[in-house]
Structure 1
Amino acid sequence: MDAVIAAAEVYLADPSTRSHQIGLYTLDLAAVVAFNDRAARLVADPQVDRSAKRRAVTTALLIALADQRPLYQ
């Protein structure tokens, strides 16, 4: 989970980040956030505080990682 939160911080520091390694997976952070309507909306809103933006980006990243990983191996 720490790696996902760190990736969210990387995105918030530079929203143009395209390639970021999280464990075995490489994600395009900018595309993940753009694809998640709620995260994209919150990140773009200047009235939303940083912690709410971080939570939204973290959630979007977790969803993207769940889509990439098989549930059963």
Structure 2
Amino acid sequence: MNMHQLKHQMSLEIPFEQVGIKDSFWSEKLKVNSEEAIFHQWKKLEESKTIENFRIIQGEKEAFREG
């Protein structure tokens, strides 16, 4: 068996839903991201008119794009 075959044999395909992160370093980062960072980023996208521009492009609103 060559090295390529060995590497392929050693890897498993795991469904995304079965993957979890349970270490102290990454768990804390994921918690902050889901509780704070995503909402902060959304607020910044709203303030910069980025979300509004998408609404205009989609035809949900008639206006001139900004930003």
TM-score (norm 2): 0.30
More strand by share: 1
Q: Which structure has more RCO (C-alpha within 8 Å, separation ≥ 6)?
A: 1
